[in-house]
Chains A and B, each alone.
Chain A
Amino acid sequence: MTKRKGFMQRLLAAPYLVWAALFIIVPLIMVIYYAFTDKNGAFTFDNFSQIAAFTHTFTLSIWLGAVATVICLVIAYPLAYIMSRMKPRHQRFAMMLVMLPMWINLILRTYALMNIVADTGIINTMLSFVGLPPVHMINTQGAVVAGMVYNFIPYMIMPIYNVMTRIDPPVLEASRDLGGNFFQTFRRVIFPLSLPGIVSGITMVFVPSVSTFYISTKLGGTMALVGDIIEFTFIGETNYNVGASMSLILMAMILLCMLVMNRFTDGDEEGLIV
Chain B
Amino acid sequence: MKRLSVVSKLYLLFVFVVMYAPIAVMIFFSFNAGKSTSDFEGFSLRWYQALLQNDEVLQALYNTLILATASAVIATVLGTVAAVGISGMKRWQRKAINTVTNLPMMNPDIVTGVSMLLLFAFAGRLLGQEESVLGFWTLLIAHITFNLPYVILSVQPVLSKVDVHLSEAAQDLGCTPVKAFFKVVLPSIVPGIVTGFIMAFTLSIDDFVISVFTAGPSFSTLPLYIYSMTKKPINPDINALSTLMFVVVLILLIFINMGESRQEKKDRKKGVRQ
A6 in the interface, Cβ–Cβ < 8 Å? yes
- Which of chain B's residues 92-132 have a Cβ closer than 8 Å to chain A? 92, 94-112, 114-116, 118-119
Which one of B16, B97, B191, B222 contacts A165 once the chains associate, using CB atoms below 8 Å? B191
Task: Determine if A88 is an interface residue (Cβ-Cβ < 8 Å).
Answer: yes
A85 touches B1 (CB 8 A): yes
**CB-defined contacts of B118 to chain A, threshold 8 Å:** 30
Binding site for A on B (CB under 8 A): 1-2, 4, 8, 11-12, 15-16, 19-23, 25-26, 29, 37-38, 78-79, 81-82, 84-89, 91-92, 94-112, 114-116, 118-119, 141-142, 144-145, 148, 150, 152-154, 156-158, 160-161, 177, 188, 191-192, 194-195, 198-199, 202, 205-206, 208-209, 222-223, 226-227, 234, 238-239, 242, 245-246, 249-250, 253-254, 257, 260-261, 264, 274
Contacts A104-B23, A105-B222, A271-B98: A254 and B145 contacting too (C-beta < 8 A)? no
Complex A-B: 24 CB contacts under 8 Å: A9-B88, A16-B85, A19-B144, A27-B119, A31-B107, A85-B2, A89-B260, A95-B195, A99-B199, A105-B242, A107-B223, A108-B26, A108-B226, A113-B22, A155-B150, A159-B195, A162-B195, A204-B150, A211-B106, A234-B114, A258-B102, A269-B157, A271-B101, A273-B99
In the complex, which of the residues B95, B101, B152 has the most CB atoms of chain A within 10 Å of its own CB atom?
B95
Provide the residues of chain B in CB contact with A235, threshold 8 Å: 110
A residues neighboring B (CB under 8 Å): 5-6, 8-17, 19-20, 23-28, 30-31, 75, 78-79, 82-83, 85-90, 92-109, 111-113, 115-116, 118, 120-122, 150, 153-155, 158-159, 161-163, 165-166, 169, 193, 196-197, 199-200, 203-204, 207-208, 211, 213, 227, 230-231, 234-235, 240, 243-244, 247, 250-251, 254-255, 258, 268-273
